[in-house]
């Protein structure tokens, strides 16, 4: 038998097979039990060794080549058949996905988490305090005695007097936690106190409740320059770029000197300049060096220790950063607002 | 405080312009809220003379005026003012003028008659609030056509906010002192005029209270009460104070100039002599504001023989007020205790400039000079004969000395300053400084009324130095050395994230709700009801989060939201303390309508899963949590469960009671859960051991017919409890109630998965556990095993 001819004939016949059936017929013709190639392979034993050594490799090669080509072609035919079947299963991918029931974290909560994380990185631990408190913790211990004019600026909500005749009120500032922290911990320490505060005031730019974050650092050699450095860091981290700070002297009875801190409006681009009403500055928080009287009220010796404190309005910072223009929206439970400005739970 | 630049310049010699002064004020602690240029907005408004007025041909109430505005020919202007008449000098807005309120003046036809401008009232020009027709300008010598600003002058009005610690800056004199110290010009010291009056004052004064330190009194007799000079009127207009009459205006002018309040009495209305004394409880008097005030012990009054004629340092009395016919005056300038004034002022809610200044402290060195200034100004305008001034009490300010180490500035401020610079700043602020090297002996000036020690000196130095010159330095890095409440704080956020992952939109509702809302969830203790709420709707501290969330749900449903799921993590306020809750409320549809899925309503098993998700998020395993059919009155009594973990109740889930829904304004149903995070966080976080087995688990299913009121959870517990150590898992996977069962019965299908850690279980072992488990269920519940 002419192996050369058989090779040409068999490969051509595989190549020409254009259906799965024709391919199977070709396979049976050459590689089936009584196929032509199989037949020759069976004859091998009868040949003399010298002849076998020449022919056997050629036949084996032919068998392998046919097997591979048939397999490849078979796979191709099957894929083709499968694809035409799959095309019939085509779906309209423009139909909506299953309703995405992803909730959101409130922007004020998210901002509070964001700020506390930045401060945590500087070693400030969260300390919490009650919202229903007394005038001692909210005012007196913070160097605001009963007749101090600053008390009148606070629009305080009062509750019926307590059992000991103490004046109960809703805290007007998270600064009440300063005193609690000094009572609980020995200096040096650094704390923040985020939380809800209340003022008896309601109009377009005031809501009777809002949120603040207090910060306080007490140590031996803390300076005003450290206050400036810390706030520069906090605000730059929060806004995501280096901010310019402006410090304006101000007055809070519990700090001295007291300052109000502005950031350069450029941090928010054109919008920032609009919000700043052309002044180029955005008021963001109040701060100062802890007043010696406050340290004394907290049981800390002001000749040994000094420190700084600051307090910022969470809503104010959230409004600036996220472009929210009406404070009241925060507390109105509108789902459209909460979906728009709320944060994905994995975002923080 | 509002003031004009020209007035400030009486006490500050400077070449700085208004903007530079404003910038400095901001830098040294006085926030400039606005700078307004008077005269701005009066372009094309000129002086005019009305030459003729005739009746408008087509309108009874209108006139047609011919007005000379200096153009060589007369302008025709239609005017409806009843007082428009020939001969008046008036303000005329010419076409092109834009009056306050963006009112642009154009040539127009009014009822067929051309009108080439407008004759203005003071109100239309923004100069007054009342309008009785057009402004009749008294100075008739003004040339027609001259700009109105020739009459009004142009000035800059500052509106500066002054913090409560700066009583010394509630005057032009004090403001100028600080500006000068900051390098803006020189301070013009006030030299008090000499009182050359003779004879004792007509009224004698006695101080009978420790709350009054000093009282200057002077009589002026035979005055002619009249209006103040224009300059004074302009000053007071700039401040925003009502112009009254020369004597009263003088006290105001001096108060704004020098900071010391004074009071003028009609001396003829004072009965006998004056005494400054403690008020008697129940005493009352009618004040200059027309109100009657009832006094209590602790108030301080000015009284004459007839009774109270003034509330010391706060407000004068109506009975002795100065009127047009007053001819004899008595002038008071006194020093009152700031705490006493503050208490009475706060209690009675009287806000006056005098109280404001006394409360913040006045410069005691200025009481006498200010008194003299009032007398000089009154007599200059009203004439009269002045008595000697009597001083009762001691007006001299107490000396205050303090030692200050200038090197402290670096340790405290973190900024390098030479001692020379420190001294320069302090002297600028009128401290008297005796220097010994870096140690300074300071005499604190009397204008500083709130002085607590070194911190005040430090503030003054750094404030004038400028905070911009202080470097920004990071404090040394330190790890947190105190535990604080970080765990509790983080737990709040874990709960918030869990809520969001369950599909809730986190909201923040008000901590105060209405009495009706509180009543719907069990009411609130009276100790947690606000004494001075914004409104009754926001008057009760919430005992639960549910009412606030419900209000949000109702509002969203009315805004056509179909899927409503609101959650909140926040405090509830109870007499026992503040309790942190995570709460969720679902109403409407469970999910948005979808082409391939039905959208049912949320049910209690949704909120049960939500509650479990929150508890898991805080790190607690809920696989052993129990659900007990214990309710609260605001839940549907048949659809409520208590969440019990480690034997402690940690919350509830269920359907809101339909009556409560109705009370809270919801049409339809809602499901809710509340997890008490405060209680939850008290529990131990148990670590469950992990036991993986390489051996094959086997699962067997069972169906039991039991009485309808048997809890499936109890059946599950019994079934899985019987073969404890081999039971890997047990689940309830079906429940059936219906025709195929006798009435009052239900069928529960459960699966039991068995696995051993050390061997493959034999058929015998499996059957043994299964039989034991089935027997236990049958025994406890009288259950029948279904084939």
DSSP secondary structure letters along A185-215 = -PSSEEEEEEEEEE-S--BTTB-SEEEEEEE
pLDDT at A100: 67
A185–B459 CB contact, under 8 Å: no
Closest-CA distance of chain B to residue A189, Å: 7
Q: Which residues of B touch A194 (CB under 8 A)?
A: 489
Cross-chain residue pair A229–B474, CB shorter than 8 Å? yes
How would you classify the pairing of strands B274-278 and B205-207? parallel
Strand B698-707: give its sheet, edge to edge. B727-736, B745-754, B698-707, B784-785
Contact check, Cβ <8 Å, A222/B475: yes
Query: Closest to B505 (Cβ–Cβ): which among A219, A332, A335?
Result: A335
Paired strand residues for B676: B581
Residue B40: the pLDDT is 67
What's the rounded Cα separation, in Å, for the pair B17 and B345? 38
Test mutation, A166, A305, A345, chain B, max B CBs within 10 A: A345
The minimum CA-CA distance between A140 and chain B, rounded to whole Å, is 14
Residues of A in contact with B462 (CB under 8 A): 224, 257
pLDDT at B130: 63
Cβ-defined contact of A248 to B31 (cutoff 8 Å)? yes
**Under an 8 A CB cutoff, do A257 and B346 touch?**
no
| Chain B interface includes A266 (CB < 8 A) | no
**CA–CA gap between residue B64 and residue B66 (Å, rounded):** 7
Looking at the complex, report in whole angstroms how far the Cα of residue B682 sits from the nearest Cα belonging to chain A: 16
B693: distance to nearest CA of chain A, Å? 34
Nearest in space to A286 (alpha carbons), one of A315, A307, A255:
A255
* Spatial contact of B506 and A103, defined as CB atoms under 8 Å apart: yes
Query: Any alpha helices (H) in B2-62, and if so which ranges?
Result: 5-8, 18-28
Cβ distance A345 to B555 less than 8 Å, yes or no, reads no
pLDDT tens for chain A, residues 1 to 348: 588 888 899 999 999 999 999 999 999 999 999 888 898 888 888 888 888 888 888 889 999 999 999 999 999 999 998 999 999 888 888 888 877 678 999 999 999 999 999 999 999 999 999 999 999 999 999 999 887 877 777 789 999 999 999 999 999 999 999 999 999 999 999 999 999 999 998 888 899 999 999 999 999 999 999 999 999 999 999 999 999 999 999 999 999 999 999 999 999 998 888 888 878 899 999 999 999 999 999 999 999 999 999 999 999 999 999 999 999 999 999 999 999 999 999 886
Q: What is the pLDDT of residue A248?
A: 93
CB of A322 within 8 Å of any CB in chain B?
no
What is the count of residue pairs from A and B with beta carbons less than 8 Å apart? 287
On chain B, the residues whose CB falls within 8 A of the CB of A177 are none
Give pLDDT < 70 ranges for chain B: 39-41, 128-131, 153, 787
- A residues 286-305 near B, CB within 8 Å? 289, 291-293
What single string gives the DSSP state of each residue in B432-461? Answer: EEEEETTEEEEE--TT-----SHHHHHHHH
Place of tokens 């084996």: A60
Q: How far apart are CA B348 and CA B692, in angstroms?
A: 77
State the alpha helices, DSSP H only, in B684-762. Answer: 712-721
Beta-sheet strands, E only, within B267-382: 274-278, 284-286, 292-294, 300-304, 307-311, 315-316, 329-336
- Residue B439: strand pairing partners: B405, B436
Q: Which has the closest alpha carbon to A207: A310, A313, A287? A: A313
Q: Do B27 and A249 touch (CB under 8 A)?
A: yes
CA distance B32 to chain A (A): 11
Contact between residue B607 and residue B566 where contact means Cβ atoms under 8 Å apart? no
Residue A334 confidence (pLDDT): 96
Contacts of B526 in chain A (CB under 8 A): 160
Closest listed residue to residue B263, CA positions, set B348, B343, B340, B205: B205
Q: Is A261 helix (H, G, I), strand (E, B) or coil?
A: strand
Residue B668 Cα distances to A177, B519, B602, angstroms: 43, 20, 12
- Distance from the Cα of A93 to chain B's closest Cα (Å) equals 13
Strands A255-264 and A281-290: antiparallel
CA-only gyration radius of chain A, Å: 41
Question: How far does the CA of residue A65 sit from the closest CA of chain B (Å)?
Answer: 46
Specify the DSSP class assigned to residue B189. Answer: -
Q: Is the ipTM of this complex over 0.95?
A: no
In order, the DSSP letters of B221-248 are ES----PPPHHHHHHHHHHTPPP--HHH
Q: What is the pLDDT of residue B138?
A: 79
CA B722 to chain centre: 65
CA distance B581 to B495: 9
Q: Which residues of A touch B551 (CB under 8 A)?
A: 333
The continuous run of DSSP H or E covering A170 comes out as strand A168-170
Angstrom distance (rounded) from CA B745 to CA B734:
14
**pLDDT number for residue B128:** 65
Q: Is the Cβ pair A123, B474 closer than 8 Å? A: no
Interface test with A, best of B23, B474, B506 (most A CBs within 10 A): B506
pLDDT at res. A1: 56
Would the CB atoms of B564 and A198 count as touching at under 8 Å? no
Would you say B376 and B196 are in contact if contact means Cβ atoms under 8 Å apart?
no
Q: How many Å lie between the alpha carbon of B667 and the closest alpha carbon of chain A? A: 18
Mutation target vs B (from A91, A133, A149; most B CBs, 10 A cutoff):
A149
């Amino acid at each position: 038998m002419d192996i050369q001819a058989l090779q040409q004939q068999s490969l051509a016949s595989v190549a020409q097979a254009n259906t799965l059936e024709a391919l199977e017929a070709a396979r049976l013709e050459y590689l089936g039990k009584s196929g032509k190639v199989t037949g020759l392979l069976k004859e091998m034993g009868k040949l003399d060794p010298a002849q076998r050594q020449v022919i056997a490799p050629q036949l084996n090669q032919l068998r392998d080549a046919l097997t591979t080509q048939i397999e490849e072609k078979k796979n191709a035919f099957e894929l083709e058949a499968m694809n035409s079947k799959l095309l019939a299963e085509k779906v309209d991918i423009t139909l909506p996905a299953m309703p995405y029931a992803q909730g959101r974290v409130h922007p004020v909560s998210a901002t509070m988490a964001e700020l506390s994380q930045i401060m945590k990185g500087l070693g400030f631990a969260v300390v919490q305090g009650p919202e229903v408190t007394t005038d001692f913790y909210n005012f007196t211990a913070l160097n605001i005695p009963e007749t101090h004019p600053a008390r009148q600026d606070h629009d305080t909500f009062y509750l019926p007097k307590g059992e000991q005749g103490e004046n109960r009120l809703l805290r007007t500032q998270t600064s009440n936690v300063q005193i609690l922290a000094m009572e609980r911990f020995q200096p040096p320490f650094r704390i923040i106190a985020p939380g809800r505060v209340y003022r008896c005031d309601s109009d377009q730019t005031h809501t009777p409740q809002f949120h603040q974050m207090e910060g306080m650092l007490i140590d031996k050699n803390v300076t005003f320059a450290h206050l400036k450095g810390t706030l520069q860091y906090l605000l730059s981290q929060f806004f995501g770029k280096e901010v310019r700070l402006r410090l304006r002297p101000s007055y809070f009875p519990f700090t001295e000197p007291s300052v109000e801190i502005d950031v350069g409006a450029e941090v928010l681009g054109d919008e920032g300049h609009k919000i700043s009403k052309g002044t180029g500055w955005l008021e963001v928080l109040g701060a100062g060096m802890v007043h010696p009287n406050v340290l004394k009220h907290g049981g800390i010796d002001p000749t040994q220790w000094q420190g700084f404190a600051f307090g910022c309005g969470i809503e104010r910072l959230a409004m600036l950063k996220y472009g929210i223009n009406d404070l009241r929206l925060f507390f109105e439970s509108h789902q459209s607002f909460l979906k728009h400005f709320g944060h994905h739970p994995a975002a923080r | 405080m509002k003031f004009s630049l020209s007035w400030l310049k009486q006490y500050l010699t400077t070449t700085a312009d208004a903007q530079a002064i404003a910038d400095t004020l901001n830098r040294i602690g006085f926030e400039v809220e606005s700078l307004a240029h008077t005269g701005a907005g009066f372009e094309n408004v000129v002086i005019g003379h009305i030459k003729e007025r005739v009746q408008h041909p087509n309108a009874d109430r209108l006139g047609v005026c011919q007005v000379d505005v200096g153009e060589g020919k007369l302008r025709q202007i239609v005017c409806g003012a009843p007082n428009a008449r020939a001969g008046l000098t008036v303000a005329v807005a010419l076409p092109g003028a834009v009056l306050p309120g963006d009112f642009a003046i154009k040539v127009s036809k009014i009822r067929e008659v051309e009108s080439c401008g407008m004759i203005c009232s003071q109100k239309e020009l923004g100069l007054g609030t009342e309008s009785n027709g057009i402004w009749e300008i008294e100075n008739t010598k003004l040339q027609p056509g001259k700009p109105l600003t020739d009459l009004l002058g142009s000035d800059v009005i500052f509106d500066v906010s002054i913090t409560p610690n700066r009583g010394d800056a509630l005057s032009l004199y004090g403001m100028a002192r600080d500006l000068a110290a900051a390098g803006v010009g020189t301070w013009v010291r006030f030299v008090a005029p000499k009182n050359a009056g003779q004879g004792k004052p007509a009224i004698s004064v006695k101080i009978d209270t420790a709350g009054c330190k000093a009282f200057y009194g002077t009589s002026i007799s035979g005055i002619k009460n009249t209006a103040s000079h224009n300059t004074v009127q302009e000053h007071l207009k700039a401040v925003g104070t009502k112009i009254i009459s020369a004597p009263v205006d003088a006290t105001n002018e001096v108060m704004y100039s020098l900071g010391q309040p004074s009071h003028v009495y009609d001396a003829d209305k004072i009965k006998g002599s004056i005494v400054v004394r403690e008020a008697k409880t129940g005493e009352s008097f009618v004040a200059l504001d027309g109100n009657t005030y009832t006094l209590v012990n602790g108030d301080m009054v000015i009284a004459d023989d007839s009774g109270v004629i003034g509330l010391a340092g706060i407000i004068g009395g109506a009975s002795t007020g100065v009127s047009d016919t007053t001819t004899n005056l008595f002038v008071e300038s006194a020093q009152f205790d700031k705490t006493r004034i503050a208490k009475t002022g706060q209690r009675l809610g009287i806000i006056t400039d005098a109280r404001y200044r006394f409360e913040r402290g006045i410069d005691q060195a200025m009481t006498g000079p200010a008194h003299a200034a009032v007398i000089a100004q009154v007599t200059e305008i009203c004439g009269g004969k002045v008595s000697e001034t009597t001083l009762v009490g001691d007006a001299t300010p107490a000396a205050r000395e303090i030692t200050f180490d200038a090197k402290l500035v670096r340790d405290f401020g973190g900024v390098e300053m030479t001692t020379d610079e420190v001294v320069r700043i302090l002297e600028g602020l009128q401290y008297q400084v005796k220097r010994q090297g870096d140690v300074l002996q300071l005499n604190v000036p009397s204008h500083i009324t709130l002085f607590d020690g070194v911190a005040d000196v430090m503030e003054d130095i750094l404030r004038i130095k400028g905070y911009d010159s202080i470097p920004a330095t990071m404090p040394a890095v330190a790890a947190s050395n105190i535990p604080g409440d970080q765990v509790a704080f983080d737990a709040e956020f874990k709960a918030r994230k869990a809520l969001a992952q369950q599909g809730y939109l986190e909201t923040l509702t008000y901590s105060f709700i209405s009495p009706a809302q509180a009543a719907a969830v069990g009411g609130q203790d009276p100790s947690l009801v606000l004494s001075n709420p914004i409104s009754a709707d926001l008057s009760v501290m919430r005992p639960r989060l549910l009412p606030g969330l419900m209000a949000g749900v109702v509002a969203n449903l009315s805004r056509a939201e179909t899927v409503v799921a609101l959650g909140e993590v926040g405090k509830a306020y109870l007499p026992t303390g503040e309790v942190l809750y995570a709460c969720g409320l679902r109403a409407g549809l469970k999910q948005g309508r979808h082409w391939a899925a039905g959208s049912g309503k949320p049910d209690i098993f949704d909120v049960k899963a939500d509650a479990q998700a929150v508890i898991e998020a805080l790190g607690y395993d809920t696989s052993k949590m129990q659900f007990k059919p214990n309710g609260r009155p605001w839940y549907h009594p048949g659809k409520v469960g208590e969440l019990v973990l480690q034997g402690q109740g940690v919350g509830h889930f269920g359907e809101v009671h339909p009556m409560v829904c109705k009370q809270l304004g919801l049409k339809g149903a809602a499901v809710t859960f509340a997890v008490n995070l405060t209680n939850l966080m008290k529990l131990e976080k148990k670590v469950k051991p992990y036991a993986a087995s390489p051996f094959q688990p086997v699962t067997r299913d069972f169906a039991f017919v039991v009485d309808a009121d048997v809890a499936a959870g109890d059946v599950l517990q019994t079934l899985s409890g019987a073969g404890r150590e081999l039971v890997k898992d047990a689940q309830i996977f079906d429940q059936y109630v219906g025709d195929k069962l006798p009435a009052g019965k239900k069928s529960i299908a459960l699966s039991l998965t068995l696995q051993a850690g050390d061997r493959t279980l034999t058929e015998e072992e499996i059957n043994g556990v299964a039989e034991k488990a089935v027997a236990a269920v049958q025994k406890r519940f009288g259950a029948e095993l279904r084939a």
